[in-house]
Structure formats: C-alpha cells, structure tokens
Amino acid sequence: MKTVTLASGERLDASMLTREGVLPADITAAAQQIIDAVRAEGDAALRRYCCDFDGVDVACFRMAPEQVDAALDQLDPSFIAALEKAAAQIRDFHEREVEQSWFTTRADGTMLGVKVTPVAAAGIYVPGGRAQYPSTVLMNAIPAKVASVERVVMVTPPQRASEPGACPISPYTLAAAKIGGVDEIYTVGGAQAIAALAYGTESIPRVEKITGPGNAYVAAAKRLVSGDVGIDMVAGPSEVCVLADATAEPAVVAADLMAQAEHDPLAACYLVTCDAQLAADVTRALEVLLPASPREEITRASLDDQGMVVIAPDMEAAVAAVNTIAPEHLELHCADALGLLGSIRNAGAIFVGAWSSEPLGDYVAGPNHTLPTGGTAAFSNPLSVDDFVKRSSVICYTPAGLLADAPATQRMAEAEGLWAHALSAGLRRRALEEGTDAVSTEALAAVDLTAVAWPGDAPETVAAGADATKAGR
C-alpha cells in the first residue's frame, strides 16, 4: 500500500488519490454500439450478445415462476433463514424512509403540497461475473417494493449450464429474488440488459428506473441511457476507508481492508491514522492474513495498486483526509468513534466503533449497501426508497390567493420581459377585480393588454400581496 505522511498543518489533497473518475472512451463507445443494436433489433440483438459474451444460447429470456420456486427447495435451510433475516431487517429500515404526500393551506384558502407517486416499473441489475450477489437482489428489490413499485424486474447474466437443462441463474440469486419480491426475471446481462430495460424489446417491456451495480460496460450503458430512463448512480469499484487510532486492533483493521480488496483488483482501500506504529502493525497483519485467503491474488493486487495509508499529524487532519477521500464505506476504529461522527461530512455508509464490521452492512444490518463511490459521497446518497418515487408539486389557488400573489408575479415577469407570464396572472386578476366579463375575448379586443399584463403596480401594492401571503402561512 502506498503511504502518504502529512506534515503538521498539511492536508490530504484530492490529487494525491489514484482514482480514475472517467470511463474509458473505448468502453463507452462499445456500450453505445450495443445500445444502438438492441434498440434497432430487439431480442435478436440480445440473443446474439448472450452467445458472444456469455456463451449461452437463450431461447426464452424470462424465467418461469416454477423455476424460481424450485430454487428455494434445493438450498440449505440455514441460507434461506439468513436471506429472510436480512430481508426483514432491510425492509424494516427502508420502511422508515417512506415519505407521504403532504398539503398545507394558507389563510386565503390556497393549497400547496407534494404528491408522492412510485415509478410504475423498476429494473434492477444483478451482476453474475466473478461471484453471485443475492444480497444485491435484496438491496435493490426491497426498497422498490417498499416504495410500492408495481413491477420490479431483475436482469442478470445467464451462466453456462453444467448439465443439460440446468438453470441458467444461480439458485442463491433466484431465492433472493423470490424473498425480495421481484416480479419478473430475465436472463440477460451486460450493456445489452441495460438497453433492454431502458427501451424495451419484444420480450422485455421497458422500465422507468434502473438500479444496481455492474462492470464498466454496465456503468457506461447506464450513463448513456440516463435521461431516457432514470438511474441510481454510475458506480465505480468498491471502496473502504478505515480511520483508526492507537486503540484499534491491527489484525481486525487488516481483515476489514481485505474485505473490500477481495471484491476486485480495482477496489480502493484507505487506512487513515495518526499512529505510524499502528500503520506498520496493520501492514504486518496483512502479510499474515493474505496467504490464507482463497482470493489472495485479487486481494493483494487491490492493496498493492489501489491501497493507501495516510499518516496524519493529528485527528483533525485525519478527519479532513477522510472527508477528502469521501469513501463509499467508512469505518471508525477509534476510542471516541461516536464523538467523531459529527465531524464526518462525506461518506456513503459510516460504521461506528470496532464492533461494526462493514460486511454486516453488506448483508443484514438494514441500510442499503448500494452506495456512492469514487468520491461522489461528497454529493450523493445511498440507494433508498426515494430512488423509486417521484414528487409532484401541487398548487391550488383560491381567488383571494390569486389577488394576493398576482402583483408580485406580474412585477417579476415584467423584470424578466415575459409578457405572457404577466398576462396569465393579469387576466385572472382583472376578472376578479372587474368581473368575469372583463376577460371575454370581445371585452379584451378594445383593452390595452400590456396594461393588463404590466399594470405598473406601486411598491405598496406588491408588498401588500406579499404580506397577505405571509399572514396565510
């Protein structure tokens, strides 16, 4: 792991990090070609890409319900129990995020508010490359269902059958889909799956929102279809940052760094500390633990190429370094971990105290493990129920409310040179002040419409309307 030692008064600068925030141009171009082909050819393109990329000839993309039900029957009851425990705790956490529509009424009767509506259909992408991720199914499907999304669709790459007639999707993934409430499952992955969800094919109706992690081609495809369909985020490699003081146990810190590093050679692991001896002890612990890992090659590559140790002169500089990194996962292995929580500004998920193992958050704690990466925790949020709903502002004026707000509206429209904006409010105002016949087409034919739109209200008239509005709040 690279070591950066900060001098007294020095702060970690973002330029010291080794992140790559831009998807390579060749991957983006390849993803665009795949999207264009799926839009033009539909299922035929999906079948071709399944053969080319996955080595699987798919006759029917949609999994039959009986195949999904059968997955639960062939799995160990202890795994099913673990899935059900995780699902219950994830559901309980996300139910606390649900926002209700709300309305308020001013004294003049004007009603304002927000109407919350779930998206009609959501597509969740579940990777199927280096490993199987039933936890990803739960983390994406459950908040969608809690949000009352009617149609939750899962896409995941088909696997080569070990024997004729074998199921093309891991039974662990199918069991999670059943428990998580997924409505439809399709055996298609990669950028082609994102294109199918975004635009639809003969077999796969389009959705309104796409969530879930994937490889660089999936990330590029999500970015390319964004705007035609909603997406959660463009996720990069997994990250962890451990902020540790002298009270931390080096072997535990080392294991926690390895827990992220084993995901991918590009996973980023950071250790931030004020204690140089702890940093040395963690490095020594890594050399004891790494040879025992069945994923040693991946884990070591991540730590060697993407890992960083930051030795800060004091805790203030250490916390500042954490906020600069803005990690996906942050662990606080400090004596006063809870006391430090308030100073943490940028992190996707914060694990407070030595007992809060990050893998607990990956699987069963309840908060979502789909988190902002690559420093985007500085301005982004974890996946939540909010990602599966839309908010519509509701504005319902009464005549009294119109009279109170029209003068200020017309004055602001005049300042912006938007005549019809002012006229829209002015006609209603005229109807109330002079009678409904005053805005008939015939009556307006002989009227100076500019005077209706821009009546030149005195400041006190505008202020009176503003005061009336304030009084109604």
Q: What is the pLDDT of residue 284?
A: 97
Question: For residue 21, is pLDDT > 80?
Answer: no
The answer to whether 432 and 402 are in contact (CB under 8 A) is yes
Q: What is the pLDDT of residue 17?
A: 87
Calculate mean pLDDT across residues 346-358: 97
Question: For residue 463, is pLDDT > 80?
Answer: no
Calculate mean pLDDT across residues 168-172: 89
DSSP 8-state symbol, 348: S
Calculate mean pLDDT across residues 430-458: 92
Question: For residue 165, is pLDDT > 80?
Answer: no
The answer to whether 120 and 147 are in contact (CB under 8 A) is no
Question: For residue 281, is pLDDT > 70?
Answer: yes
Instruction: Give per-residue pLDDT as tens, 400-440.
Output: 999 999 999 999 999 999 999 999 999 999 999 999 899 99
Q: What is the pLDDT of residue 95?
A: 98
Q: Which of 35, 19, 373, 20 is nearest to 220 (CA)?
A: 35
Q: What is the pLDDT of residue 365?
A: 97
Q: How far apart are CA 237 and CA 265, in angstroms?
A: 9
Task: With residue 5 as reference, give the H or E element that holds it.
Answer: strand 2-5
Q: What is the pLDDT of residue 43?
A: 96
Question: For residue 130, is pLDDT > 60?
Answer: no
DSSP 8-state symbol, 64: P
Task: With residue 422 as reference, give the H or E element that holds it.
Answer: helix 419-434
Q: How confident is the model at residue 46 (pLDDT cuts 50, 70, 90)?
A: very high
Q: How confident is the model at residue 164 (pLDDT cuts 50, 70, 90)?
A: low
Instruction: Give per-residue pLDDT as tens, 92-104.
Output: 999 999 999 999 9
Domains of the chain are 25-230 (3.40.50.1980), 236-379 (3.40.50.1980), 397-472 (no CATH)
The answer to whether 86 and 137 are in contact (CB under 8 A) is no
What tokens does 71 get? 């997955």
Q: How far apart are CA 445 and CA 399, in angstroms?
A: 24
Instruction: Give per-residue pLDDT as tens, 358-373.
Output: 999 999 999 999 999 9
For the chain, percent of residues with pLDDT exceeding 90: 84
Q: What is the pLDDT of residue 466?
A: 64
Q: What is the pLDDT of residue 335?
A: 95
Q: What is the pLDDT of residue 61?
A: 94
Q: How confident is the model at residue 468 (pLDDT cuts 50, 70, 90)?
A: low
Q: What is the pLDDT of residue 125?
A: 97
Q: Could you tell me the pTM of the whole model?
A: 0.91
Q: What is the pLDDT of residue 15?
A: 85
Q: Which of 28, 13, 263, 287 is nearest to 127 (CA)?
A: 263
For the chain, percent of residues with pLDDT exceeding 70: 96
Q: Mean pLDDT lowest for which of 127-136, 245-254, 391-400?
A: 127-136
The answer to whether 139 and 173 are in contact (CB under 8 A) is no
Catalytic residue IDs: 328-329
Q: Mean pLDDT lowest for which of 52-56, 228-232, 306-310, 330-334?
A: 52-56
Calculate mean pLDDT across residues 214-219: 92
Calculate mean pLDDT across residues 199-219: 96
Question: For residue 73, is pLDDT > 90?
Answer: no
What tokens does 17 get? 């990090």
| CA end-to-end distance (rounded Å), the chain | 58
Q: What is the mean pLDDT of the chain?
A: 93
Question: For residue 469, is pLDDT > 70?
Answer: no
DSSP 8-state symbol, 62: B
